[in-house]
């Protein structure tokens, strides 16, 4: 699996890595080696935090608690039961991950401000328990006399040997993290974080991503805690206190929350900074706060992100687009229709939909029309699981769709686009489409990108593949969304105003593309206001007005239906005569 | 941090032609200047630097001050740094128990004596010959604390409110042990968090238990709160507080009237004066630091002075100094110091009481040599 | 029992001001202001500092403290909120954590780490008064807090400025569409929040002293109060704060009120805190809406 290393900053980061490697040989006093070892431990902590805070965008405040838990687990079992270093390392990781698993289910589904408080509350409870449970934890004095590192019976003394041990583990952990967040899985994280509605629409289970991220963050923190207590030989409740959490947060933000190099930069910098800033005395901590504030305001993607952007500006590196590749022919599974039966929906007192019934068959193009506010988009949202209906049902084959989450519905083969385009703005057009290929287990990032390229070209937007989605004009973004929907190789396609912003030639291209899809057997629903576009395209039309179906049938018939005309002209429903 | 102090008496002596032993020593001062112990850490620093200012003639002392914050690993960083930079003869160490405990193995490895004023018992229970504590440990002060209640206040039933911090838990254990030995009953005890604001529920429970005396073993803020709230609810039980009360900044939180009849145990109360040397120390401290000294400052002053005098007598290496500190007796301003073999140098305590008219207490009772070490 | 409740009420009144300030910002800016607790601490130190300059009763200093804190609130919105509009919510969390850190350490640098006492609200000794042993200071705190909360309510209900603030809080886009200067309204909300927090600081500084590290504790109380009361609900925030304070005071006193209960660790202050957190977690998990608030689960 080919992945990029140090995207955009290859030369500077390689040089920095080299510098980091020879640093302990240049500064080799006991004090310097100790600091460097501590820095490594914090790198590990931050790498873990990046999963939940950086990639999942969730402000978890238990990272310090997981760290402390790992430290205490190691201390208790090393001192009271003589467990060896490998045993306690595994245990610390297990204990922290187990706690994360226990609290994950209820806590992860909370909205961000509740999630932060819940995690903070859990951390506080752990701290209080730790202080009070004196026989187990030594109370506020903690546990001292923790033995140092030892492997296979041989003690590994402080100084260079410990440093090498710690940093070897850090490098392994970093490579692991890199493999997890790189590749197509990493793109999935980005979409779940940046455009959650889109993530569901392409079959990504946001809850699953967050759970994995949370467990990983805990595991890394537990490991870091286990190492920490072996270096310091003592553990006390301050490892569970809020300042450590703030340090972890600061390191992550300042280094760069989503880049591996950011973990290194942030951790190393913030371990050394207090030592370098000793002259500032008590004003150091004010500078620390100011630095954190400056970083989040000016460079939200941290030092590494800022460096990458700077480099892009100085020496812009145009990424070469990949060669397009056709998608494999999908196995023909269901030939079912999408059936709407008596669907009803109210918002507050307003009846948005009432008694809506119709069928979208395979191999047909159905136009859904109606004045603004008639409920068209709401209907699609209900079909794709974004909103819950209040009455009626949506069926696909034999399956009742109305209780499934959006990602499950997408995986059944129902794809959609959004009325207000929903792309991950910071990702390239290519990647926005490529990530939708992740449902196909055989596909790696390179292949997905090639296939995405093909799809973009068929929609006429291949030229902007390497550009960031948010830099692109609205009409182009809409077509990227369509490409993304097609990447799912769906059987049912729900398009919300796909022709908006397209000129006539582009509309013609799109129309022919849609006809091809019809030939392939897809059922296509088009929400549109653009009548000429629909005219030559739709096999049938359904007209909604104020939440009810007022006409359905052939395009000619529907367009001449007096009720439809009245609705569009804004006249009351039952026109006289 | 970068305070390099030089005693110029040596130069003067050379100019006058007198033979002089110009010894140069380095004593880094690693204390908490930031964080919740910055008051005590600053007292340590001030006491140490004042002692260095008054060093015996013929000594050049270099004292770099570094902040240890609140976490053990920061203290260890500071110690490693100091050890790597210069070859210190002794180190003034933070009085926070967990920080001293973390520094002990390093001191052992480098064989450098630590001079501290930590009151945490476990600091001298690790069998480490390189720690010297110039503040009576909880085992000593709490004897004074309880004995005063028993002997002077004639108490048979005690109530105790302690802190959930290491300071609080250590003291609580010592009080329980002493009370048991003296045959006193502890009819109520509870440990409270440092952040607790309203102590009236706890004080209510104290009242219901009908003790003869209320013992407080709390930090500065909570001590003042407890005394104030006890007065507000007319608790009418004599209170003997821990040494946090003796600190002038704590007494400053209360009105003199609220302090009437309240006593506190401590190692020393410099502001209460008592001897010409104490008055001189008081004046010097006030002039230089523009603030009132507390017992920690005085204890650290005595400790560093003892070390400097040993150095002036020839113990210029860490090993020699350690030996001198372990075997010598030193009559300091607060009390007489002598090691009990484990590094506990201070064995006396005092009880100070407030008369309700001022915030400066008077010394009500001295308890010298509570564990018999000085007599040996 | 009455005594215990009265004490709880005094503490709760101060907490209510803090929670109120917190929820105002939540509503106006959809932002969690992690610095709210440190603003309380700053108000307390402002009272201490002013009290040293002018030895007058705290009630006289209150308007000055309100003014100073309002300015601080505007400053806070300028450096920690406005530059981050359009970013995910976590960014403002982090920026306000950073500002809180700066406030705490500035207070430490200027005033030192030890607790300081602020001037009493009204002059005169702190003595018991009435059938219930409520100290004069506690009574003054309750009254002052009640006055401030009422003033804020009146501001919102009866003045044009208040209407605009409310409109902004309800729907920022709509408010902007009808010509309200949303930026200014948000800034004012921050100023109001800081002023209320600072007032709480002044009220608490005499009875309970003020220390630079107090901020986190007050922040947690406000956060918990708003969650229990219902995210975004103003009466909820006040109710939540009172509930917390009463619980903090009543729970450890239960052995006094119900003699059958043992005065053991089960009813200690620490246990009370642990139970409070567990209750909060339970609320978050079972009824995230709290007492009066909106639904809390994420959508996608």
pLDDT in tens, C159-216: 888 888 888 888 888 888 888 888 998 999 999 999 999 999 998 898 888 999 889 8
DSSP state of C269: H
Mutation for A interface: C22, C94, C108, C290, most A CBs within 10 A: C94
CB C59 within 8 A of CB C119: no
What A274-280 contacts at long range (C-beta under 8 Å, 24+ apart), as own/partner pairs, is A274/B69, A274/B74, A275/A35, A275/B77, A275/B81, A278/B1, A278/B66, A278/B67, A279/B1, A279/B2
Q: Which pTM does this prediction carry? A: 0.87
Nearest chain B residue to A158, by CA: B106
Task: Concatenate the DSSP letters of all residues of A264-317 into one string.
Answer: HHHHHHHHHHHHHTGGGGGGHHHHHHHHHHHHHHH-TTHHHHHHHHHHHHHS--
B34 touches chain A (CB under 8 A): yes
- pLDDT tier, C294 (very low <50, low <70, confident <90, very high otherwise): low
CB A181 within 8 A of CB A171: no
| Residue in C42, C47, C48, C43 with CA at minimum distance from that of residue C104 | C42
The token duo for A143 is: 């546990």
- Whether C75 has a pLDDT exceeding 90, the answer reads yes
Please list every residue in chain C whose beta carbon sits closer than 8 Å to the beta carbon of residue A246.
97, 101
Please list every residue in chain B whose beta carbon sits closer than 8 Å to the beta carbon of residue C139.
none
Contact flag C94-A200 (C-beta cutoff 8 Å): no
Contact flag B221-C4 (C-beta cutoff 8 Å): no
Candidate CATH numbers 3.60.15.10, 3.40.50.300, 3.90.1150.10, 3.40.50.720; the one for domain A338-569: 3.40.50.300
CA distance A59 to A136: 30
Contacting chains of A (3 CB pairs or more, <8 Å) are B, C
CA distance C179 to A158: 66
Of A35, A233, A282, nearest to B105 by CB-CB distance is A233
Q: Is the ipTM of this complex over 0.95?
A: no
Please list every residue in chain B whose beta carbon sits closer than 8 Å to the beta carbon of residue A233.
102, 105
Nearest chain A residue to B3, by CA: A279
Of B33, B126, B170, nearest to A282 by CB-CB distance is B33
CB A333 within 8 A of CB A363: no
Is domain A30-314 given the CATH code 1.10.3470 in the classification?
yes
A286 touches chain B (CB under 8 A): no
Contact flag B193-C114 (C-beta cutoff 8 Å): no
Is residue C226 domain-resident?
A: no
- Whether C298 has a pLDDT exceeding 60, the answer reads no
The token duo for A136 is: 């187990």
Judged by DSSP in three states, A34 sits in: helix
- Whether C83 has a pLDDT exceeding 90, the answer reads yes
The token duo for A115 is: 């999630």
Q: How many residues belong to chain B? A: 376
Of A140, A233, A275, nearest to B77 by CB-CB distance is A275
**Alpha-carbon distance C137 to nearest alpha carbon in chain A (angstroms):** 31
For domain B138-266+349-367, give the fold: Rossmann fold (3.40.50)
Contact flag B220-C114 (C-beta cutoff 8 Å): yes
**Alpha-carbon distance C21 to nearest alpha carbon in chain B (angstroms):** 21
Kindly report the average pLDDT of chain A as a whole number: 88
Task: Concatenate the DSSP letters of all residues of C18-46 into one string.
Answer: HHHHHHHHHHHHS---TTHHHHHHHHHHH
CA distance B243 to B220: 9
Judged by DSSP in three states, A117 sits in: helix
Mutation for C interface: A58, A64, A289, most C CBs within 10 A: A289
- Taking the alpha carbons at both ends of chain C, their separation in whole angstroms is 48
- pLDDT tier, B7 (very low <50, low <70, confident <90, very high otherwise): very low
Interval A33-52: pLDDT, tens: 898 999 999 999 999 999 99
B236 touches chain C (CB under 8 A): no
Of C209, C269, C270, nearest to B253 by CB-CB distance is C209
Mean pLDDT within A259-287? 85
Q: Where are the domains of chain A?
A: 30-314, 338-569
CA distance B279 to B298: 12
A457 touches chain B (CB under 8 A): no
Instruction: Report the range of poorest mean pLDDT among A165-169, A466-470, A491-495, C2-6.
Output: C2-6
CA distances, C230 to each of A560, C289, C290 (Å) = 52, 5, 4
pLDDT given at position A14: 82
* Maximum distance among all Cα pairs of chain C, rounded to whole angstroms: 63
B118 touches chain A (CB under 8 A): no
pLDDT given at position A214: 96
Residues of chain B with CATH 3.40.50.2300: 9-136+273-338, 138-266+349-367
For chain A, percent of residues with pLDDT exceeding 70: 96
Interval A152-177: pLDDT, tens: 888 888 888 899 999 999 999 999 99
C261 touches chain B (CB under 8 A): no
Strand bridging mode B65-67 / B114-116: unpaired
CA distance B96 to A236: 12
B231 touches chain C (CB under 8 A): yes
Instruction: Report the range of poorest mean pLDDT among A15-19, A98-102, B349-353.
Output: A15-19
- Whether C299 has a pLDDT exceeding 70, the answer reads no
Contact flag A132-B164 (C-beta cutoff 8 Å): yes
Interval B138-170: pLDDT, tens: 888 999 999 999 999 999 999 999 988 777 888
Q: Which of B:252-271 have CB within 8 Å of C?
A: 252-255, 257
For chain A, percent of residues with pLDDT exceeding 90: 44
- Whether B128 has a pLDDT exceeding 60, the answer reads yes
Beta carbons within 8 Å of A306's beta carbon, 6+ residues apart: A298, A299
* Segments in A133-205 forming alpha helices (H): 134-137, 160-181, 183-194, 196-201
**Alpha-carbon distance A121 to nearest alpha carbon in chain B (angstroms):** 16
SS (H, E, C) A76-116: HHHHHHCCCHHHHHHHHHHHHHHHHHHHHHHHHCECHHHHH
Contacting chains of B (3 CB pairs or more, <8 Å) are A, C
A135 touches chain B (CB under 8 A): no
Interval A541-577: pLDDT, tens: 999 888 889 888 888 888 888 888 888 776 665 544 4
Question: For B197, phi and psi rounded to 5 degrees?
Answer: -95, -50
**Alpha-carbon distance C245 to nearest alpha carbon in chain A (angstroms):** 17
Is residue C279 domain-resident?
A: no
Nearest chain B residue to C6, by CA: B200
| Residue in B191, C257, C2 with CA at minimum distance from that of residue C10 | C2
Task: Provide the domain count of chain C.
Answer: 1
Of C11, C126, C217, nearest to B195 by CB-CB distance is C217
Beta carbons within 8 Å of A315's beta carbon, 6+ residues apart: none
Please list every residue in chain A whose beta carbon sits closer than 8 Å to the beta carbon of residue B71.
238, 243
Interval A373-428: pLDDT, tens: 778 999 999 999 998 888 899 999 888 888 899 999 999 999 999 988 899 988 99
Where does B51-184 show beta strands of DSSP type E? 59-62, 65-67, 91-93, 114-116, 131-133, 157-163
Which letter, b or e, does each residue of A494-510 get, where b requires 16 or more Cβ atoms within 10 Å of its Cβ? Answer: bbbbbbbbbeeebbebb
SS (H, E, C) B83-114: HHHCCCCCEEECCCHHHHHHHHHHHHHHCCCE
Contact flag A106-C285 (C-beta cutoff 8 Å): yes
CB A55 within 8 A of CB A122: no
Quick one: which H or E segment has residue C184?
helix C182-208
Please list every residue in chain C whose beta carbon sits closer than 8 Å to the beta carbon of residue A118.
281, 284-285
pLDDT given at position B6: 43
CA distance B76 to B100: 9
Please list every residue in chain A whose beta carbon sits closer than 8 Å to the beta carbon of residue B217.
none
CA distance C35 to C22: 9
Interval A10-31: pLDDT, tens: 778 888 888 888 888 787 788 8
Contact flag C97-A292 (C-beta cutoff 8 Å): yes
Of B38, B69, B84, nearest to A31 by CB-CB distance is B84
For domain B9-136+273-338, give the fold: Rossmann fold (3.40.50)
CA distance A191 to A196: 7
B313 touches chain C (CB under 8 A): no
Strand bridging mode A365-369 / A540-545: parallel
pLDDT given at position A332: 62
Contact flag A109-C98 (C-beta cutoff 8 Å): no
- Whether B237 has a pLDDT exceeding 80, the answer reads yes
Contact flag A116-C298 (C-beta cutoff 8 Å): no
- Whether A280 has a pLDDT exceeding 80, the answer reads no
**Alpha-carbon distance C298 to nearest alpha carbon in chain B (angstroms):** 34
């Amino acid at each position: 699996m080919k992945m990029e290393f140090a995207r955009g900053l290859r030369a500077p980061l390689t040089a920095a890595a080299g510098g980091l490697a020879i640093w302990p040989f240049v500064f080799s006093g006991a004090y310097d080696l100790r600091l460097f070892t501590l820095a490594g431990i914090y790198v590990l902590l931050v790498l873990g935090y990046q999963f939940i805070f950086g990639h999942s965008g969730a402000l978890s405040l238990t990272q310090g608690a997981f760290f402390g838990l790992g430290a205490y687990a190691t201390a208790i079992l090393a001192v009271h039961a003589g467990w060896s270093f490998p045993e306690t390392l595994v245990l610390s990781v297990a204990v922290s991950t187990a706690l994360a698993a226990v609290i994950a289910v209820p806590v992860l589904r909370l909205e961000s401000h509740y999630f932060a408080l819940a995690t903070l509350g859990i951390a506080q409870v752990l701290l209080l328990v730790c202080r009070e449970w004196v026989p187990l934890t030594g109370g506020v004095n903690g546990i001292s006399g923790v033995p140092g590192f030892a492997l296979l019976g041989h003690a590994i003394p402080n100084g260079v040997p410990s440093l090498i041990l710690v940093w070897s583990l850090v490098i392994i952990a970093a490579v692991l993290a890199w493999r997890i967040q790189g590749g197509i899985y990493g793109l999935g994280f980005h979409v779940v974080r940046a455009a959650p509605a889109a993530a569901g629409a392409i079959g990504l289970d946001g809850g699953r991503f967050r759970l994995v991220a949370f467990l990983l963050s805990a595991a890394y923190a537990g490991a870091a805690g286990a190492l920490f207590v072996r270096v310091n030989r003592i553990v006390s409740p301050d490892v569970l206190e809020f300042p450590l959490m703030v340090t972890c947060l600061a390191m992550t933000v300042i280094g760069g929350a989503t880049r591996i190099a950011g973990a290194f930069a942030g951790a190393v910098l913030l371990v050394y900074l207090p030592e370098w800033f000793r002259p500032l005395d008590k004003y150091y901590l004010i500078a620390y706060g100011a630095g954190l504030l400056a970083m989040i305001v000016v460079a939200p993607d941290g030092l590494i992100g800022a460096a990458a952007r700077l480099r892009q500006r100085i020496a812009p590196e145009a990424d070469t687009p990949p060669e397009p590749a056709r998608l494999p022919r999908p196995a023909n599974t269901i030939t079912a229709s999408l059936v709407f039966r008596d669907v009803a929906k109210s918002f507050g007192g307003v009846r948005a939909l009432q008694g809506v019934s119709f069928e979208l068959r395979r191999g047909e193009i159905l136009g859904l029309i109606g004045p603004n506010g008639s409920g068209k988009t709401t209907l699609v949202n209900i079909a794709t699981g974004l909103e819950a209906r209040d009455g009626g049902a949506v069926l696909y084959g034999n399956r009742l769709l109305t209780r499934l989450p959006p990602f499950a519905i997408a995986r059944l083969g129902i794809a959609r686009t959004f009325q207000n385009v929903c792309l991950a703005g910071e990702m390239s057009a290519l990647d926005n489409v490529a990530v939708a290929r992740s449902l196909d287990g055989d596909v790696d990032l390179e292949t997905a990108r090639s296939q995405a390229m093909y799809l973009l070209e068929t929609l006429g937007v291949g030229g902007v593949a390497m550009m960031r989605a948010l830099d692109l004009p609205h009409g182009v973004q809409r077509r990227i969304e369509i490409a993304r929907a097609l990447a799912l190789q769906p059987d049912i396609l729900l398009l919300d105003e796909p022709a908006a912003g397209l000129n006539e030639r582009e509309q013609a291209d799109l129309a022919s593309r849609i006809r091809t899809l019809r030939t392939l057997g897809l059922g296509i629903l088009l929400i549109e206001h653009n009548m000429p576009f629909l005219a030559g395209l739709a096999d049938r039309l359904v007209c909604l007005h104020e939440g009810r179906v007022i006409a359905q049938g052939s395009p000619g018939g529907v367009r001449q239906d007096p009720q439809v005309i009245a609705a569009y002209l804004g006249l009351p429903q039952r026109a006289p005569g | 941090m970068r305070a390099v102090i030089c005693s110029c008496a040596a130069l003067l002596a050379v100019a006058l032609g007198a033979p002089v032993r110009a010894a140069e020593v380095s004593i880094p001062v690693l204390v908490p200047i930031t964080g919740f112990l910055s008051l005590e850490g600053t007292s340590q620093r001030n006491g140490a630097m004042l002692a260095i200012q008054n060093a015996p003639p013929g000594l050049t002392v270099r004292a770099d001050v570094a902040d240890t914050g609140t976490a053990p690993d920061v203290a260890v960083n500071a110690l490693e740094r100091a050890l790597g930079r210069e070859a210190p003869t002794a180190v003034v160490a933070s009085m926070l128990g967990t920080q001293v405990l973390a520094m002990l193995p390093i001191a052992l490895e480098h064989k450098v004596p630590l001079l501290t004023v930590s009151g945490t018992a476990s600091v001298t229970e690790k069998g480490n010959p390189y720690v010297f504590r110039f503040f009576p440990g909880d085992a000593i002060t709490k004897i004074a604390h309880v004995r005063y209640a028993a002997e002077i206040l004639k108490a048979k039933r005690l109530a105790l409110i302690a802190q959930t911090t290491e300071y609080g838990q250590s003291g609580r254990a010592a009080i329980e042990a002493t009370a048991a030995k003296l045959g006193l009953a502890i009819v109520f005890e509870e440990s409270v968090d440092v952040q607790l604001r309203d102590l009236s529920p706890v004080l209510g429970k104290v009242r219901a238990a009908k003790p003869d005396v209320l013992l407080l073993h709390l930090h500065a803020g909570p001590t003042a709160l407890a005394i104030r709230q006890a007065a507000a609810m007319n608790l009418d039980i004599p209170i003997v507080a821990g040494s946090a009360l003796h600190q002038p900044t704590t007494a400053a939180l209360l009105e003199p009237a609220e302090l009437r009849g309240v006593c506190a145990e401590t190692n020393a109360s410099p502001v209460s004066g008592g001897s010409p040397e104490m008055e001189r120390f008081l004046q010097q401290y006030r002039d230089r630091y523009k603030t009132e000294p507390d017992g920690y400052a005085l204890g650290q002053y005595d400790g560093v002075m003892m070390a400097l005098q040993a150095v002036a007598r020839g113990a210029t290496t860490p090993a020699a100094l350690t030996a001198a500190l372990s075997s010598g007796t030193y009559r300091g301003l607060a009390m007489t110091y002598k090691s009990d073999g484990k590094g506990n140098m201070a064995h006396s305590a005092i009880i100070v009481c407030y008369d309700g008219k001022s915030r400066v207490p008077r010394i009500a009772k001295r308890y010298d040599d509570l564990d018999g070490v000085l007599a040996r | 029992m009455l005594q215990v409740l009265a004490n709880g009420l005094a503490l709760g009144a101060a907490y209510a001001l803090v929670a109120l300030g917190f929820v105002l910002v939540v509503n106006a800016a959809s932002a969690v202001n992690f610095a709210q607790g440190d603003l309380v601490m700053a108000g307390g130190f402002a009272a201490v500092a002013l009290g040293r300059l002018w030895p007058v009763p705290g009630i006289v200093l209150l308007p000055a403290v309100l003014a100073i804190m309002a300015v601080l609130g505007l400053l806070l919105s300028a450096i920690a909120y406005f530059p981050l509009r359009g970013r995910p919510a976590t960014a403002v969390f982090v920026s306000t954590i950073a500002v809180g850190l700066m406030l705490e350490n500035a207070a430490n640098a200027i005033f030192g780490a030890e607790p300081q006492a602020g001037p009493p609200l009204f002059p005169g000794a702190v003595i018991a008064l009435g059938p219930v042993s409520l100290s004069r200071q506690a009574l003054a705190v309750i009254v002052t807090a009640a006055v401030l909360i009422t003033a804020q309510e009146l501001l919102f209900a009866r003045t044009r400025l208040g209407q605009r603030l409310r409109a902004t809080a309800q729907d920022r886009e709509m408010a902007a569409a009808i010509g309200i200067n949303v930026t200014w309204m948000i800034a004012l909300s921050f100023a109001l929040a800081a002023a209320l927090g600072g007032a709480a600081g002044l009220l608490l500084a005499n009875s309970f002293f003020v220390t630079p590290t107090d901020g986190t504790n007050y922040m947690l109380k406000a956060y918990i109060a708003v969650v229990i009361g219902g995210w975004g609900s103003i009466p909820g925030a006040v109710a939540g704060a009172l509930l917390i304070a009463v619980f903090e005071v009543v729970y450890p006193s239960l052995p006094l009120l119900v003699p059958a209960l043992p005065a053991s660790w089960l009813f200690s202050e620490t246990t009370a805190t642990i139970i409070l957190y567990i209750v909060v977690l339970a609320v978050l998990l079972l009824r995230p809406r709290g007492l009066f608030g909106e639904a809390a689960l994420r959508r996608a």
